[in-house]
A and B are shown apart, each in its own frame.
Chain A
């Protein structure tokens, strides 16, 4: 380590203002502080600091995302081999490798595009490189269908990072969740590639791996897609891609078609445990999103009219296990920058996210999934919620002063 440190110290002058590589100063400092914790000591105020910094915070979130990501990779392979009828004779590792190879390019594209823009922006402003995109860049490939073209991810990521983040001032200043803006951009700019039956299961091969003929009766519709297009009233039976009925078990473990990282409620809950145990995410938000979703699902159940809104029949547990609901509750709504910041506000914010997600899902069949839109909509309202919470404190203070002058 000493040699590395010495080497960094040796090349450092080139990156300082006036050095021949000074145009890469931010990038250099980003890597330097990535490798070695800066040993600057406090100049004002407190003499000691807590060990936590924003690198640690983001690292914890990425660790929490890993179970869902790894399961997502496996599920991509699982759905593919199920679709070509070769699941039984394919080994676990082949299935995983297929998914890994299908997902990896998306991760690479998202990071390269997003971090490239971040590095440039940091250098233009002569700022330190901020860590926020490390999480966003991981979230983006996890919330898109597996067959989303890479160039679309690149365009959408660039759009989100520039227009939803950098123009607002970078990490910590954005109003909307970056990953969800990416998702929304894709959804509205290329609707045919982001919904329907064609995109959630990879039917072709990946780098020549897993070629095969689709089995008879294959349908790539996600359970929520099935619910949204279910016509003619009658009982709603969700099925897997081969037409076999789905159990709650399948939905909870995540062996269903869907966006890459969102299918397994179990893997997401493991991430939730990591986020809550480390105290990085707010339990208030998480709990209230689930509470809001359950309450709204129950209301839908009571007033279910299967002929018009088939998804209203789904039980609260099914609703939570399907689509991006759990993922949004655990990883999206808990983004501290775009969500409510006061504790009272968090309960309201989370609850409304849950309610809106189910509301959109059930009553707007144009959008089979509502979690993304619910979080984005509540992102816009979070400052308003906080405003009223803080205003209550202000009123209480003014009242106190008034009582005194009486």
Chain B
């Protein structure tokens, strides 16, 4: 496979002894806790082109914690790579248009919050020329400035808080996750097959931005053959692909430290910018889910409409469907008329389920009702069986009753239940002590899925991080 295995340097081995053992054994970090939810509609390794999207949208919410100041107004002409908005405080952080065309609308919601900026694409695409660049010979400050003004910097996130990275900070390390373990997620080795040069260039660029290491988490099941960076191989169920889990096993974040994270698919955008001299936000999107006739990969561009991506691929039906930009655990309910999020490489379509009235479902003996616990009989059908799960919550919200439920799907050296309780009580000392700086809402997605008490854990964690950030700054 051409994967270079690296031994994790000793100085970073101050985490739990058992993980050192795994890595030294054969350079693979084994993740034991977690869950692979087997859903219907996994993408076949085929590619088709999406139909041309009528409009493209830039959604500020895709860039967590960015307070948008819109730089364009309806009627303005933009090129691919022209800024459309920037952050109110970190004014250097701009988000640029993925396409050239005309700004159609700046849609606002409650309290004039910017919901999205829509752009009608030109027939012939034109790009802002930034000039080709060679990261190896560039000054770090020049490189950072280039990434900032091209809008590719906005794809870098930071921990703590899981927000857009602050360009004025220097991260301890940068973590790149080169696989997605979420349900029906795209296979990065397949998607990145023809993008490896860009990815390598991107990795070279990242190494300029940190005095520490650039770690690349790859999956043992389908490894992306990267050469640059410190490659760490992960083996195990979801959430092994979550960068937070990888950080926790490689070199956990301590109070006061900042690390940056970026997804390998987004890093390709940085690589393309440097190699081509202009932005190129085109990407392969996995169209997945039980409501898709032929789940496969579709070539499109960040910000394209869901309709253009899924056209002709949805099964006919007389019930409501849920169109998710992203996966079923962390994606956004975009709606059939919505848009692909900037950082998403997956669209999932599942039944909404609001037409189902299941009689005494709690007593069901039906083996097709999926549950991680063995209280339903789906486990008797084996682990290979795939399920079509709709969007129903399937129960009322309760206080936390069951113990060891979150822990079983939370492969980090953290007590998730105690952290959640500390967040709910907003006890800052406790949150810090229990590891709040190491987590992101996505790390709690599986906990939320398996939760008997049906608590909105990702929302709780996001609100907790937001409040904590306000208190600390």
A22 within 8 A of B: no
Q: Are B407 and A343 in contact (CB under 8 A)?
A: yes
User: Chain A: which residue is nearest B359 at the CB level?
Assistant: A1
Nearest chain-B residue to A34 (Cβ)?
Answer: B360
Given contacts A36-B358, A44-B458, A342-B415, contact A49 B350 (CB under 8 A): no
Residues facing A in B386-432 (CB within 8 A) are 389-404, 407, 413-415, 417-418
Contact assessment for B456 and A51 in the assembled complex, using a CB-CB cutoff below 8 Å:
no
B281 at the interface (CB under 8 A from A): no
Which chain B positions have C-beta within 8 A of A1? 357, 359
Give the residue among B257, B375, B404 with the most A Cβ atoms within 10 A. B375
B393 to chain A, nearest CB (A): 5
> What residues of chain B lie closer than 8 Å to A47, measured between beta carbons?
322, 324, 328-329, 331, 333, 348, 350, 391
Of all chain B residues, the one with the shortest Cβ separation from A60 is B375
* A57 contacts B390, C-beta separation under 8 Å: no
Contacts of B15 in A (CB 8 A): 400
User: What residues on B are CB-neighbors of A209 within 8 Å?
Assistant: none
Stretch at the interface among B217-225, B238-246, B265-273, B366-374: B366-374
Cα separation A54 to B355 with both chains bound (whole Å): 22
Chain B residues in 8 Å Cβ range of A51 = 361, 364, 369-371, 376, 378, 394
Point out the residues of chain B lying under 8 angstroms from A52, CB to CB.
Answer: 371-373, 375-376, 394-395, 450, 452
Q: Is B454 an interface residue (CB 8 A)?
A: yes
- A55 CA to B357 CA in the complex, in Å? 16
B residues 8-64 near A (Cβ < 8 Å) are: 14-15, 37, 39
* Bound CA–CA A342/B401 (angstroms): 13
CA–CA, A337 and B399, complex, Å:
10
Interface size class of A (residues with CB under 8 A): 35 or more
Q: Is there contact, CB below 8 Å, between A401 and B407? A: no
Within 8 A of B (CB), among A368-406: 390, 393-394, 396-398, 400-401, 403-404
Closest Cβ of chain B to A287, distance in Å, is: 14
Residues of B within 8 A of A4 (CB): 359
- For B356, the chain A residues whose CB sits under 8 A away are 37, 39
Residues on the A chain within 8 Å of B449, using CB:
46, 48-50
Most buried by A among B376, B395, B397: B395
Q: Which chain B residues lie closer than 8 Å to A43 at the CB level?
A: 456
A27 to B399, CA, bound (A): 19
A residues 11-69 near B (Cβ < 8 Å) are: 33-57, 59-60
Question: Shortest Cβ distance from B407 into chain A, in angstroms?
Answer: 7
Are A50 and B372 in touch, CB under 8 angstroms? yes
Return chain A residues, CB-CB under 8 Å to B372. Answer: 50, 52
Contacting pair B254 A404 (CB below 8 A): yes
Whether B350 and A48, one on each chain, are in contact in the complex, defined by CB atoms closer than 8 angstroms, is yes
**Is A123 interfacial (CB-CB < 8 Å)?**
no
Is there contact, CB below 8 Å, between B392 and A44?
Answer: no
- Residue-wise, chain A 114-146 has the 8 Å CB interface mask toward B (1 for contact) of 000000000000001010100000000000000
A155 within 8 Å of B (CB atoms): no
- Counting chain B CB atoms within 10 Å of each CB, the highest count among A50, A57, A341 belongs to A50
Q: How far is the CA of A342 from the CA of B403 in the complex (A)?
A: 7
The chain A residue sitting closest to B377, CB to CB, is A278
Contacts of A132 in B (CB 8 A): 401
User: Per-position contact with B for A298-316: 1 when CB-CB < 8 Å, else 0?
Assistant: 0000000000000000000
Which A residues are CB-close (under 8 A) to B364?
A: 51
Residue B435 contacts which of A55, A173, A339, A397 (CB distance < 8 angstroms)? A397
CB nearest neighbor in B for A345: B403
Q: Are A172 and B322 in contact (CB under 8 A)?
A: no
State whether B370 touches A50 (Cβ < 8 A): yes
For residue A394, which residues in chain B have a CB less than 8 angstroms away from its CB? 433-434
A170 with B399, Cβ < 8 A, contacts A39-B353, A51-B370, A393-B414 known: yes
- Which residues of the other chain, B, contact A55 by a CB distance below 8 angstroms? 362, 395
Given contacts A46-B449, A50-B449, A55-B395, contact A282 B324 (CB under 8 A): no
Task: Check B403 against A336 for contact (C-beta < 8 Å).
Answer: yes
Chain A, Cβ-Cβ closest to B461 = A45
Q: Is the CB of B393 within 8 A of A40?
A: yes
Chain A residues lying within 8 Å of B454, measured Cβ to Cβ, are 49, 53
In the complex, are the beta carbons of A130 and B360 less than 8 A apart?
Answer: no
Question: A171 in the interface, Cβ–Cβ < 8 Å?
Answer: yes
Contacting B398 at CB < 8 Å: which of A40, A46, A54? A54
Is B445 an interface residue when CB atoms closer than 8 A count as contact?
Answer: yes
**Is A366 interfacial (CB-CB < 8 Å)?**
no
Scan residues 322-336 of chain B and give those whose CB is less than 8 A from a CB of chain A: 322, 324, 328-331, 333
With A and B bound together, what is the CA distance between A346 and B404 in angstroms? 10
Contacts of A404 in B (CB 8 A): 14, 254, 257
A95 to chain B, nearest CB (A): 30
Closest to B457 in A: A45
**Can you list 14 contacts pairing A with B, beta carbon distance less than 8 Å?**
A37-B357, A38-B392, A39-B355, A40-B354, A41-B353, A47-B391, A53-B454, A54-B395, A54-B401, A56-B452, A57-B401, A279-B373, A340-B403, A342-B403
Supply 16 further A-B pairs (C-beta < 8 A) apart from A54-B398, A57-B402, A279-B375: A36-B360, A37-B360, A39-B354, A39-B356, A41-B392, A51-B394, A52-B375, A53-B452, A54-B396, A56-B452, A132-B401, A171-B399, A278-B373, A341-B404, A400-B15, A401-B256
A residues at B contact (CB < 8 Å): 1, 4-5, 33-57, 59-60, 128, 130, 132, 169-173, 277-280, 282, 336-337, 339-343, 346, 390, 393-394, 396-398, 400-401, 403-404
